[in-house]
Structure 1
Amino acid sequence: MFLTRFQINPARRNARKLLSSPQTMHAAVRAAFAAAEDYATADTRTLWRLDTVGTATVYLYVVSPGRPDLTHLVEQAGWPTTESWVSRDYDGLLGSLRPGERWAFRLTANPAHSGRKTADAKETQRFGRLREHEQVEWLTSRAARHGFALATQQDGRPNVRLHGRQTQTFRRGMGNVTLTMATYDGILQVTDADALRRAMTGGIGHGKAYGCGLLTLAPAQAVA
């Protein structure tokens, strides 16, 4: 597995197009892999996330089975005269995880639940959880199955902060997709290292093709 970071130049027109449409960004990320097995395998898949630092710095993070070639993104939306992108081996970190460890984390996710729009509806639909406490509960309820527990603060509340909360609508084919998104920053404790590794390489929740589901870790004393 590889973890790649690419800095986007938001002043460029093509960059603004990518940043405004998860479908367009998904296609650009998919184009970075010539071989299908570098994009997805039976156990892992490519995940991506956009992180904004301050008001003008935007990074694209990609976790993938194979090493991506982002030349096309440099040409369309990057900084061609500076560092293009950095890919690092991810297996070392994944293999080092042990129960009991505490890590700072970041996750952009699609906190949603399935249900019927009306009592007599035949098919279920996915509805985004819009309130902040519901979004926190969404992650808390899934933590154990993904191999971690959220650390708690002195007041007993989960050590997690939400930002980037939005509902985004974009084109896909002939229709529209509406996606509720939230970014979680916090501290977690590893409870099942194998399950956490699967979450970090397979994603959490829905909307993985559109920038959701990527969980990354950093030393607990650092910012995720």
Structure 2
Amino acid sequence: AAVLQIPLEPNTGAGVLIAAKVNDEDEDVATAALEGAAKLHDAVVARNLTRYISDATATVAAGFYGPEQQDIARTVALFAWESIKIVADAGARESVPVLIDALRFFGRSRYWDRHQRAEVLRVLGKLGDQRAAAVLLDFLNDGSPLRWKTTEKGQRLHHTVGDAALLSLLRLYNLQPETFGMLIPTSDKGFAGYADDQSRREGHRAFRIWHQQHRERQPTRAYLPTSRPTREKD
């Protein structure tokens, strides 16, 4: 693909050209553009991919793709998801409102699976912008299983999509998982989960109570959705 010939110079017009090709009708070209964007992951790429994510979310949400075009809709959803990861690698906190819109729609749709929505939950925690708190709270009750680990004592810990949301919330507020009953095996400090559903309910409830009591830490500016349909459904 010609996109592979574009010199990958950070913070130049290369980022504009590569990001624009993510929306190419040729799936191979779009995939190559995503690969180039991932290598650059600079501010220019992030800014232009954010526009793509916004347009992709609004277009699919508006029902632009009919029943016979769902394969295209799924591809657009996948490219939006891949773009979100690149934007996060660029540390583009200004993109958070657009990522929130994408998660609110795709995360509750058939287009993203549990692992994809969990990844976006983690991305929002990584970016560290408290504007994401509300949407993260919305996913606390998602009990879809993701993975599990066995502790040195033979105790099995489970990690759900809701737990991924909780970990991102804790990251936003600089809180420790153990404070809310999560267990971390010594063999894998990057994993946190619960041994049973009762412990999970209690831990999540404890965070909700903490959050309610510390609402003043949240931004006072109201969040306004940014995505708008690019074309009305026929």
**What TM-score bracket applies, with the shorter chain setting the length?**
under 0.3
Q: Which structure is richer in relative contact order (CA contacts within 8 A, separation 6 or more)?
A: 1
> What is the TM-score when the length of structure 2 is the normalising length?
0.21
- Decide which structure has greater strand share: 1
- Decide which structure has greater helix share: 2
